[in-house]
Every structure is written in structure tokens, then in C-alpha cells.
Amino acid sequence: MSRTSIHGEWSSRTAFILAATGSAVGLGNIWKFPYMAGQYGGGAFVITYLLCIAIICLPVMMAEVMLGKLGRSSPINTMYHLAVENKQSKIWILLGWSGAIAGFLILSYYSVIAGWALAYVPELALGTFTKVENMPTAEISPFVDSIFNSLTENPTKLIFWHTSFICMTMFMIAGGVKGGLERAVTFMMPALFILLLVLVGYSMSTPDFMRGFQFMFNVNFDNLLYPNCTEQACELSGDGLLAAMGQAFFSLSLGMGSIMVYGAYLPKNASVSKVTTAVVLADTSVAILAGLIIFPIVFSNGLEPGAGVGLVFKTLPIAFGQMPFGTLFGTLFFILLVLAALSSSISLIEPAVAWLVETKKFTRISASVLSGIFVWLVGLITVFSFNLWSEVKPIGGLNLFELIDYLTANIMLPLAGLLIAIFTGWLMKKTIVANELNSSVDSFSYRIWYFLLRYVTPLGVSIVFLNAIGVFS
């Protein structure tokens, strides 16, 4: 039963917390959470997201880390070992496969968006946004829009930045667990956190801080349940709830094998529940901080909270253009955002790379290069979704980038979370589970976790799914 990982181990429990936080904290918190909250009307989205984290995702995350720690290999092989040991069907390796596929798909667009952040580094360093300081408010929004659009409408620029980001990811991944992953996150996470606090300070000084605050915490479920309201008609839709749940999974890197594979490198004596709780708290606070920074800027400058994927890129540069030392802070911020994205992107591809190394006997370098080329190619779909193919909307009015995002975050990740809950809560031997969590089967916290995992998670995810396909309306 006692396997060891052939890829190495984290040097300590703290190293795991930093790495898993590195995986969790990324574009999901700073880019995606604010624009989704903006699109789905604020408070109700935020509350649903927080609830999903507490009662659905936290138990799943503990289960996922634990499965990894037991399996000590890539998620595909981990699921194989665990299925055999618990006398279950080998079909469970599909859970590992779905993770690897979701990882490729997510990274394919993640890299394009991270490329935007990369493109904003020189923009800020050269002081492009200092112009907003003396601009009348009415001109600010068209100005930031034009800079953003000139990037996204230009496939050549997007490809350049997308390629650069993929190369950075491959370089890091090739470095291996300790060399590549661990070193990078150790200094980056604290630095990002400090810069976010500086930005909160700025936001509190804007005239509409309270409005931004209320937007985030005033709960009005109409906005979430009727996201597509027009003057003529309001249609009840389960999409908002699904989006909030999907965002919770996405933000915590769950249901994809990232957290499982990181768990596989966890030292044997580390406590799963403690490290997991630490990661969840860090991830959630970064998302909330990002919202508290962005919405006051939105309202103070007459921007739209529902501006969509460009929200962060259209708000933060205004702040940097106006605040003292903005050029310095702005450049630093986008560099840190790229690094935060990088520590997430390596975790998106690590499950596949680990599998290629274990099973197909690739070296880490060749596995990284091969996966990188593949992801790069798929990423072109997203690149063109913002320009040449922006009108290609095969299903549900979503363009190709939005479809990939919907399929992965809203369907694949929660579905895998549901299966992880069923596998761990219903099919694994109770004693193995309790033993791995260093817990007695009777302890209070263990019983709560087990109850949430067996009943609340499967029911919660199923209800949100069924609701989204209109079963309850």
C-alpha cells in the first residue's frame, strides 16, 4: 500500500500549501471571478459561489488530495490503483482521463488570456495609461476599450503572446516538481497578496467604493436567476447557479486532477484537512479582494460591471494610471498576474505530463514539449474566437472560446467532482479513508466531512445540473 511518487515530493507541508495555492490562485480569481460576478449581478452570484465552496468544494478537495496522496502517481494511474485496491471497476480511470482532457482544454484558452496579461506588462511599463489622469471621465472608458480591443482584434499579436506564455509554461514544467514548481511559487504568492492589498487601499479612496462594495454583497437573487432580462421579457434560467458552482470548482482547480497530482507529491505525514483548508481560504480571499478592487473602479469611472471578459483589463489600468507610482505598481501587478497564471497553468498540464512520464516512459522535457505543442495548437481556436471567428457560434449563442469554457468549468469539473465524491464516499473502504486522513471514524469533523461528501455534494451538484437543463422550471 505504500507507494512513492517517481516525480519527487514537496519538501514540506508548507511547500504543498504554496504550490496548491499557486494552482488555485490565478486568472480564475482575478480575471474570471470579477467578470462573472459582474455579469450575474453581483451579490447573489458571490453568495452562491461562497456556499458552493464551503459545502461542495471543500469536501471534494479534501477527497481529491487524499486520493492523490494514496495513489502517488498521475491521476489516471492513481484512479487505476485505487479502483483495483477497492475492488471497483477499472472504468474509474476515465475520471483521470477526463481530468487530463479538461486540463488541455482549459490551458488552451488560459494561455491566451495569460497572454493578454503579458501584453499589458509593456503597456503599463511604458506609461500608456498615465494619460487617463487628466482625462474627462467620459473619455476614459472608450480609451481603455480601444487599447483592449486593439489587442484582441489582432490575431498576430494574440498568437505572439499566447506562444510566449506556452513557452514559459513548458520551461517551468520541464523543471520538475522541486526545481520548477516549488521555487516559483514561494516568493510569488506573498508578493501578489501584498500588491492586492495596496490596490484595495486605492479602491477605498475612490468615490464609489461603497457602491462597489454593495454590488458585491447586496444579495438580489433576481439578477442571478434571470440573467438575460430585457425590458420585454425575463426568463428564468439555471445558468447563473451553474456558473457560480462551475466557478467554485474552477477557482479551486478541482475535478481536474491538478489537486490530485499535487496531493501525490505530499509528504506522508502531512494532514490533508489542514492543508486543504489553508488553500481554500487563500484562494477565496484573493477572489473577494479582486472584486473589492475592481467594482469600485468600475462605478467610479462610469464603466459597466457586466463588461465581460475584458473587465479586469479595462479597470485596473485606470487605477494604475491615476495612483501615485502607478507605472511601477501596474507593471509589477501584471508581472505577478502572469506568474500567478503560470503557477496555475503548470498544474493544468502536470497530470498529463506525469502520465506520459510514468506510462509512456517520456522524459519530463519531451513530455512537456509534446503537450505544449498540442495545447498551443488548440489555443488557436480561442485566439480566433476574438476576431476572425467571433461570429462562429455553433451552440447556444456561445462562441468557440465560450463553449470550451462552458464545457470545462460548468460541466466537466463539477461532474468529476461528483464522481470523486461518489468514489470516495460510497465505494472506498471506510477504514482506508479514515486512516489516510489521520482521523478516527467517530470524530466529529470526520463525520461532518463524510456526510457532506456522501450526501450534500452529490445532491448539490445534481440539483444545479438538473436546474440548468430546466428540469425544475
Contact positions vs ligand PHE (CB under 6 A): 23-24, 26-29, 106, 250-251, 253, 256, 258, 344, 347-348
**Quick one: cell of 425?**
464516499
Nearer to ligand PHE, 279 or 292 (CB): 279
Half-sphere exposure (Cβ direction) of 471: Cα atoms closer than 13 Å: 7
Q: Among candidates 302, 299, 329, which has minimal Cα distance to 317?
A: 329
Separation between Cα atoms, residue 262 and residue 274, nearest integer Å: 15
Residues in a beta bridge with 398: 395
Residue with cell 484562494: 283
In the complex, minimum distance from the CB of residue 422 to ligand PHE, in angstroms, rounded to a whole number: 20
Closer to ligand PHE by Cβ: residue 203 or 344? 344
Pick 251 or 385: Cβ nearer ligand PHE: 251
Shortest Cβ 315–ligand PHE spacing (Å): 18
The Cα–Cα gap between 331 and 208 comes to 25
Residue 23 CB, shortest distance to ligand PHE, in Å, is 5
Cell triple for 470: 430546466
Cβ neighbourhood burial of 186 (10 Å; 0-12, 13-18, 19+):
middle
**How far is residue 291's CA from residue 31's CA, in Å, rounded to a whole number?**
10
- Shortest distance (Å) from residue 344 CB to ligand PHE: 4
> Could you tell me the three cell numbers for 43?
451579490
Interatomic CA distance for residues 424 and 84, integer angstroms: 14
291 vs 321 by CB, closer to ligand PHE: 291
In the complex, what is the shortest distance from the CB of residue 280 to ligand PHE, in angstroms, rounded to a whole number? 12
Closest by Cα among 346, 462, 376 to 411: 462
Burial 374-383 (b: 16+ CB within 10 A, else e): ebbeebbbbb
Q: In angstroms, what is the minimal distance from the CB of 182 to ligand PHE?
A: 17
Q: Which is closer to ligand PHE, CB of 105 or CB of 174?
A: 105
- Residue with the shortest CB distance to ligand PHE: 28
Helix (H, G, I), strand (E, B) or coil at 253: coil
Of 252 and 318, CB closest to ligand PHE: 252
**Closer residue to ligand PHE, CB minimum distance, 18 or 24:** 24
In the complex, the smallest distance separating the C-beta of residue 137 from ligand PHE, rounded to whole angstroms, is: 32
